[in-house]
Structure 1
Amino acid sequence: MDIKVDNTTVIVFDLDDTLYNELDFLKSAYKSIAIFVEPNDWKALYSKMFSLYRCKVNVFEFVANTYKIEISLLVEMYRSHKPSIQLFDGVLEVFDAIKSKNGKIAIVTDGRSKTQRAKLENLGILNYLDKIIISEEIGTEKPNSANFIAVEKALAGTTYYYIADNLKKDFVAPNTLGWKSVALVDNGKNIHFESHKYMEFQNLPQQFIIDFKDFKII
């Protein structure tokens, strides 16, 4: 997929399951919790926690009941731990190419400010970003158009792209605003994997890509 970029181009990315796999954040958090709860045998607990998650059992409830820990503490540990996550292959190459053409890069993501900013910092991409929109900070979540209008107000441009993964909520507003929309296909590890339920016209992106190597910045 070719994207022509100049100083009037604004390319906006979702974060979770678009730039990295959110499942890796979950695993990182479970590991952190397991080490806290069972420092001498954390691997066995971590294995059970992840297995319970895969079986759709409430992991926090299990840990709280087993170790007499408040669920609220576990949730806070999940949200505030220092994540161990990695960018998808090709992301930095795309970012570098956009910047080499004087394009602007932004993030529009749902979630808590502290958690999402910790992810961005851990991924090492803060210096690439011209604007960050996080739902908790702005007070609205996707598909609310306010999150995308905030980008337009902050970064003047003639062409806007939104690259994301979740057909349920990611593309409704960008499509309405006249943006170009691109979906990254689930690699089999996405937290939200029910895209087949949201194939109506308003939910669909204009294009799909398999991975970031599908992008050619020109």
Structure 2
Amino acid sequence: MDIKIDRTTALVFDLDDTLYNEIEYLKSAYWYICSELTEKDTEILYNHVFSIYRNGDNPFLYLAEKYDVSIDHLIFQYRNHFPTIKPFPGVLELLQGIKKRQGKIGIVTDGRTVTQSNKLKALGIWNLIDCCIISESVGTEKPSKRNFKLIEKDLKVSKYYYFGDNFKKDFITPAYLGWHTVGLIDNGLNIHPNSCYNALNSPESLIRSFNEISVV
């Protein structure tokens, strides 16, 4: 898929399960929490905690009882730790190509400001972003028009592309605003599988990897 980039073009991205797999954030957070609770048996505890999660139960309940810590404290650690995560293949090259051609880069993501900001910094792309809209910071979540109109107000370009993975909510408003929409197909690891694909909310284009995008 070729996208012509110049100073009148902006590529805007969702974050979780679009630029990286969110399950990696979860693993990073669980490892951090387990390492804070025990130095000697971190790996054993982590494996047990992750298996609890995979079984559909709440590992925080187990940790709170075993180590006599509050669930609120565990949640705080989960949300505020600086994660060890990597972007999907092709993401950095795409963003660098956009900047090289004087295009704009935006983020529209739901979540907490500290959490989402730390993710973007850990991915190594924070300094490439021209405008970042995080739901907690603006008080509205996708598919609210406000989140996307704030991008338009800031970037002031004539052509927008939005990349997302959630076929239930990601593409409703960008399509309404006349943006081009591109859906990233679930690689099988998405925390919230995008099996809710339907004709009403479907993106214009589908990709399996950012390596399929060429900026020209």
One-letter amino acid matched to 1:209 = I
- Cα displacement (A) at 1:198: 3.9
- In structure 2, distance between residues paired with 1:190 and 1:196: 10
Given candidates 204, 207, 210, the residue that maps to 2:208 is 210
- In structure 1, distance between residues paired with 2:74 and 2:63: 8
- In structure 2, distance between residues paired with 1:169 and 1:134: 15
TM-score, normalised to structure 1's length? Answer: 0.96
Deviation readout 1:101-150 (Å, 9 max, x if unpaired): 11100111111101111111111112211101000000001111111000
- In structure 1, distance between residues paired with 2:146 and 2:61: 35
Specify the alignment match of 1:162 in structure 2. Answer: 162
Question: Map of 1:85-124 to 2, 5 A cutoff?
Answer: 85-124=85-124
Specify the alignment match of 1:196 in structure 2. Answer: 195
SS of 1:196's partner is: coil
- Cα displacement (A) at 1:98: 1.0
- In structure 1, distance between residues paired with 2:16 and 2:29: 15
1:144 aligns with 2:112: no
- In structure 2, distance between residues paired with 1:45 and 1:199: 41
- In structure 1, distance between residues paired with 2:203 and 2:77: 35
SS of 2:16's partner is: coil
Deviation readout 1:22-57 (Å, 9 max, x if unpaired): 111000000011111122111111001111111111
One-letter amino acid matched to 2:121 = E
- In structure 1, distance between residues paired with 2:78 and 2:54: 17
Aligned residues: 216
TM-score, normalised to structure 2's length? Answer: 0.97
Q: Where do 4+ consecutive residues of structure 1 move more than 2 Å?
A: 195-198
1:6 aligns with 2:6: yes
One-letter amino acid matched to 1:147 = N
Specify the alignment match of 2:16 in structure 1. Answer: 16
Specify the alignment match of 2:38 in structure 1. Answer: 38
SS of 1:186's partner is: coil
Specify the alignment match of 1:49 in structure 2. Answer: 49
One-letter amino acid matched to 1:182 = V
Specify the alignment match of 2:180 in structure 1. Answer: 180
SS of 2:189's partner is: coil
- Cα displacement (A) at 1:63: 1.2
Q: Where does structure 1 lack aligned partners over 5 or more consecutive residues?
A: none
Q: Where does structure 2 lack aligned partners over 5 or more consecutive residues?
A: none
- In structure 2, distance between residues paired with 1:88 and 1:198: 22
- In structure 2, distance between residues paired with 1:56 and 1:39: 26
- Cα displacement (A) at 1:200: 3.8
Aligned-residue identity in percent: 50
- In structure 1, distance between residues paired with 2:106 and 2:196: 28
- In structure 1, distance between residues paired with 2:142 and 2:152: 15
- In structure 2, distance between residues paired with 1:132 and 1:19: 14
